[in-house]
Structure 1
Amino acid sequence: MSKPKTLNIPFANAICYSGFREGQSPGGIYPSYDEVKEDLLILQKNWKYLRLYDCDKHSETVLNVIEKEHLDFKVMLGAYIVAEMNNFGCPWGVTYSEEQLENNKTTNIKQIEKLIKLANQYPDIIFSLSAGNEACVDWTDHYVPVKSVINYVKMIKKGAKQPVTFCENYVPWLDKLKALAHEVNFISIHTYPVWEYKHIHDALEYTKDNFYAVQKKYPNKPVLITEAGWATNSNGRGIHPSNVSEENQEVYYNDLMEWTTQEQILTFVFEAFDEPWKGSPEPLEPEKHWGLFKVDRTPKLVMSKKYYSLKQ
């Protein structure tokens, strides 16, 4: 297998970061400056690149902390675009009125404009930009037509100097997103073997298959992994409880890091901290349990055992 094309940046560890704690959530209570600072001081021990999903108050705080505290991070900043069409294939059945969908289009344009504004405000911190997150995959609850995403990519490229991508599950890149692939500067894929019922011992090979399938499709484009991880709890909804644990997370993380480091594939591990605001109210909902650290910021097995020292 040929070496993948890469962005013209130094290779280093990368992680997705959402800092919402117990009682906090997007649109509700946001993490404070000091809480974000605490998180980033934990993360700087092992990671250079951060991925932020949205241009909300949380992302503004993160960028402010990095600048004021002189922290050595580079950020991929995303715009979180919302539904412009109903997706009746969404398993949890979210539907919107036509009025809401029209309002969402206005919201999305404002989000793209905010992304451009922040990109120009923090040019030395923000190294790349994403026009959206999982908005074209078949099961999404915030479906946006590919043509709209292409228009947003063009807006960003016109207004900011950083390279532009779109973060999406690997499957749509193989067919649906061909036109978009020609517009972005690099391709960003998400790969989750555990969501596709793969056993931990098959996980890395499945991730490799996902990555190399997209790379083969677009040999002249850099391909990054912007989400890959392993949950540590499940109530059985979509993931069998016996296939998730801190031990399995450690296995997948270590295997993933060994392969991507050897191949110099920039890979954002999902996720830095558990996110209790996500999913259903059930405490073992798998969406809540992808962090390498628990919501109280104590390390899970993989971090406490090998990569993280409380004495540092």
Structure 2
Amino acid sequence: MQETPFCLRVGHLLPYSMSDSNTTNFTNPSTFILLGIPGLETAHVWISIPFCTMYAIALLGNFTILYIVKREPRLHAPMYYFLCMLSVTDLVLSTSILPKTLSIFWFNSREIDFSVCLTQLYFIHCFFMTESGIFMAMAFDRYVAICDPLRHSTILTNPAVAKIGLAVMLRGGIVVLPYLLLARQWPYCRTNIIPHTHCEHMAVVKLACANTYVSSYYGLFVVFCVTGLDVVFIAMSYTQILRAIFSLRTKDAQFKTFGTCGSHLCAISAFYIPRLFSSLTSRFGQNMPLYFHILSANVYLLVPPMLNPIIYGMKTKEIRGRILQLFTEKGTKIFS
């Protein structure tokens, strides 16, 4: 038997009264109600401060990466093209959730149109899958650059990079499309209240008054057979990379070569570890408060877009030097 939605069990948490017609005996509502973070309503304004800060850093950092790569001809190479794809994906991913989340926190604007909710659901999961694919492509770039450097320029040509980027984006869009189609066809007759800050896939599907095992099983398939394969491919790439690094004769050469992969490994960790933690707590942490699950779901969508430009800005010599040069030039103009 499907579990009773949280909002029906804790109606006393709702900041306003809902008539019975809004919670029962209706079919396919035109709008959903996003509660934000149930149990922490009084702290919404305070929670918005770190959320808004992370979003601002993500916007500034990713736009800076895009600007620097565009303006610096030396950075027109496969590694930096993939980094630009990552920045665009991060911008879309964070923008898909945070404006609505902040409107809930600041203005109590909780209503979201049914079609807008499904669009948000699609964008969140599509670009999450796209980002996973980009990390896989970046691992392949590092593998070729270190294990077969003489063929790097012939294998990863500009057209090849463009095709990889297009394939990764199409994969994300196509794989996530059943999420949208299935969620649209379920009948919703229990409640239109979503105890979340955004329209996450399973948070929406749990409101359906039908057997939604297809959606649940397909979601598991995507996690294990698509995202899981990305992780396996990345692990295989770095296994070969480490073999090549340890075959170098001097420690200095090993350290220098491994340094070119350091930023990528940090970004991968920042992307997959919070997602894994959120998935494990949602499936095995039934005794944890609901607000903990919601906060962890927001962390894995907001932290990587914030950290990625910082990681690549600090660990990539060319980008770090260009950023310092950019701010030095502006400082000189201000004080001249």
TM-score, normalised by the number of residues in structure 1: 0.25
Higher strand residue share: 1
Between Structure 1 and Structure 2, the one with more helix by share is 2
